[in-house]
Structure 1
Amino acid sequence: MKTAKNGLSLILDGLMRRYQERVPDVQGVINAMIAEGLIGSADDIENDHIAFRTMGVPHLGIQSLEKIFLHFGYQRREAYFFPEKKLDAFWYAPPTPQFPRIFISELRVNDLSPEAQGIIHSYTDEVTSDPVDLVNLDNAAEVDAFLHSGLWRTPTWIDFQQLSKESEYAAWVIYNRYYLNHFTVSVHNLRPGYDTMEGFNAFLERNGFVLNDSGGKIKTSPDGKLAQSSTIARMVMAEFAGGEIHAIAGSYVEFAERKLLEPFQHLHKADIKREHRREGFEAGNADKIFESTYSTQTKKLNL
């Protein structure tokens, strides 16, 4: 098991390294947290979860990507459905608390218009067998390389624009494939004043970060024990087929506060462990967090 844990660490480190290089807000948040004495270095951040987006087509989607993480000891938990966005999702519990939870969503491609389905299949039909089955899952470097590889040819700008009109999620995935969508800073273990979503959001906005306000800047579960917020994805320059370069939404940073479950309210902060806090996710929260890459939010960065 120790070898498996080491392999998982290498894979997660590879994901985070590339993600951090492409998402300026990651280093910006880290620098601000260090400057205010919340952490000594990035290693002090507790990563609540990471998230992936996939296409629900033959040989791909959740059933394919989850194989990687199930191999490393993750366990599939609750299912979620987002009818308006035409998405399904599962979250996965890590083998040990040192690792982040994983959230994998999947576009219900068959629920889209024939035109959108045709565009998507013109790319994904290039995948004729489950690509994960060809990966040596015991080789962390091979898994890392796979998660950053192109599963189909680079899309055209016209196709990207056409998909965006019906599903910005579809457009994001057709360009980014399995690129890490976001990682999540756990705020509840930070020092007082920053250990609630309200306090941490105030810190973020004081440092110039623009927050996704779909459904409110803080998205809270009905039980009141899971609060989440996120930055808005900044635009990145993307090269499309034929060398066309256009600005599209990249990835973003999420923040989560998991409150104590009722039986553990008496615990001293030093004695609190992950299992004492609210677990899982909330469809209502996630539905709005998805919009961190949508034009209704990204246009606010240019206002």
Structure 2
Amino acid sequence: MNFNNHSQLDIFLNILFERYSQQVPAVRKITDAMISRGIVSGQEDIINDHIAFRTLGVPHLGINSFEKIFLHHGYTKRDNYYFEGKKLNAYWYSPPSPEYPRIFMSELIVEQLSDHAQSLISKYTSHISADPVDSLNLNDGQEIGEFFHKPLWELPEKADYETLLGESEYAAWVIYNRYYLNHYTISVHDLKPGYNRLEDFNTFVTSLGLKLNTEGGTIKVSPDGLLRQSSSVAEMQEAIFANGEKMDIAGSYVEFAERLVLQQFTELAATELKSEHRREGFETGNADKIFESTYTKQIKG
């Protein structure tokens, strides 16, 4: 890793976050309230635990393509997760240095969908004959940032979106949003007392009029009790489909994570604690429920 790669990483992560924060009202609402209450002085004070992307498991796309960007910039591929019910495969990636967020990257196992759903996805992606990441200059952060927001296939027809929505809400989200940032995650344990426990932070978030994902409980807890996660519910946004048809669909959301201290480090003073002293990685059971932050049942429930 050289510094040039790090600076380019900063560039495309900033481009990603800038567009995401403009499109997801909850981001600004939470940050502004945190500033007004003196929890942080600005967005830069919020530690980003991880960011998440959704992909389609079709030729030339999916995790094998998308991960090249982050591996090039010093990320390390870690554990694999499988979500049988949602037909998803996922990995997480640890950052080149602690100031960067972890990456959680998931992929729809398209071949497990019905023949009709597979044909609809193929309708939009079959023209992609080569891995689009291979044509990028991976040392150019601006180019990568623009790639994240570049349409790799045509806008779907509203009827196709609705058909996919009926079988896989994940598939419908990706076919419209493509590589748009799915969520970023506030590291709650890094906040000041009064807000550094998920129960307190959730109370703060709901006081702003935001709705929380209740699937599996408002707080999703790993079996070891050391990884605790909550999230807002995606807000609806007007989508314009092919032929100018419009429909309100789920956008992106904000997640909140609390990583507790590992048993062998519980004697350390709070001022001595670093990220390596806390629970690392992710948990299939937690993530399975977090995915539903864009699902109709949560949004309309």
Distance 1:209 1:238 in 2: 21
The residue type paired with residue 159 of structure 2 is I
Give the superposition deviation at 1:173.
Answer: 0.2
Q: Which residue of 2 aligns with 1:265?
A: 266
Q: Secondary structure at the match of 1:53?
A: strand
Distance 1:151 1:207 in 2: 36
Give the superposition deviation at 1:268.
Answer: 1.5
Q: Cα RMSD over matched residues?
A: 0.6
Q: Is 2:213 aligned against 1:212?
A: yes
- Structure-to-structure mapping, 1:9-48, within 5 angstroms: 9-48=10-49
Q: Percent identity?
A: 55
Q: Which residue of 2 aligns with 1:59?
A: 60
Q: Secondary structure at the match of 1:3?
A: helix
Give the superposition deviation at 1:289.
Answer: 0.3
Distance 1:196 1:226 in 2: 12
The residue type paired with residue 225 of structure 1 is L
Deviating more after overlay: 179-188 vs 194-203: 194-203
- Structure-to-structure mapping, 1:107-126, within 5 angstroms: 107-126=108-127
- Per-residue CA deviations over 1:5-62 (Å, capped at 9, x if unaligned) read 1000001000000000100000001011112211000000000000000000100000
Distance 1:19 1:207 in 2: 19
Runs of 4+ in 1 over 4 A off after TM superposition: none
Q: Which residue of 2 aligns with 1:95?
A: 96
Give the superposition deviation at 1:207.
Answer: 2.0
- Structure-to-structure mapping, 1:187-266, within 5 angstroms: 187-266=188-267
The residue type paired with residue 50 of structure 1 is I
Q: Secondary structure at the match of 2:97?
A: coil
Deviating more after overlay: 185-194 vs 50-59: 185-194
Distance 1:109 1:257 in 2: 32
Q: Which residue of 1 aligns with 2:80?
A: 79
Count the aligned residue pairs.
300
Give the superposition deviation at 1:202.
Answer: 1.1
Q: Which residue of 1 aligns with 2:105?
A: 104
Q: Secondary structure at the match of 1:118?
A: helix
Q: Secondary structure at the match of 1:188?
A: helix
Q: Which runs of 5+ in 1 are unaligned?
A: none
Give the superposition deviation at 1:189.
Answer: 1.3
Q: Secondary structure at the match of 1:278?
A: coil
Give the superposition deviation at 1:266.
Answer: 1.3
Q: Secondary structure at the match of 2:50?
A: strand
Q: Which runs of 5+ in 2 are unaligned?
A: none
- Structure-to-structure mapping, 1:258-297, within 5 angstroms: 258-297=259-298
The residue type paired with residue 35 of structure 2 is I
Distance 1:83 1:271 in 2: 40
The TM-score normalised by the length of structure 2 is 0.99
